[in-house]
Amino acid sequence: MNNFKTSSILGAFLISMFLSVNAFAQDSHVVVRVYEPVNQAGEIVISYGNGKSERIPIEKLNSEHHEVNANKIVDVFNRLAKEGYSLESSAGSSHGNTGSILHVDTFVFVKDED
């Protein structure tokens, strides 16, 4: 009976550790989406999970501000790198007609393990 009690306590402890690690792992990703419409201002959306996000305005794609937009994206990447994140994957897409094209780029960052 004593072995059963010890095994149960150990099992409960291991399950709680597993759940804690999974909860921590869920906070290890950040998604960055860049929305660049042709004829209106766009934005960079940084999503941290748990309802936490931030928005950074950028210029429309059809403008003379390509370097400004690119520098804002690089600033986000550099900030995430300083916080211990590395780029895990990226994807891009465009849709719409010539007057309303929207470019959407998605970048997934993962927290580096210590």
The tens digit of pLDDT for each residue in 7-44 reads 445 444 445 444 434 444 457 999 999 999 988 899 99
Mean pLDDT for the chain overall: 81
Q: Strand, coil or helix: what is 27?
A: coil
Calpha distance 62→39 (Å, rounded): 6
**Looking at residue 25, what DSSP letter applies?**
H
Calpha distance 106→45 (Å, rounded): 10
Q: Is residue 14 part of a domain?
A: no
Q: Is residue 63 part of a domain?
A: yes
**How many structural domains comprise the chain?**
1
- Host domain of residue 68: 28-111
Calpha distance 26→52 (Å, rounded): 13
pLDDT reported for residue 55: 97
Q: What is the pTM of this model?
A: 0.73
Q: Is residue 16 part of a domain?
A: no
Of 111, 112, 114, nearest to 28 by C-alpha is 111
At 56, the pLDDT band (50, 70, 90 cuts) reads very high
Q: Is residue 72 part of a domain?
A: yes
pLDDT reported for residue 114: 63
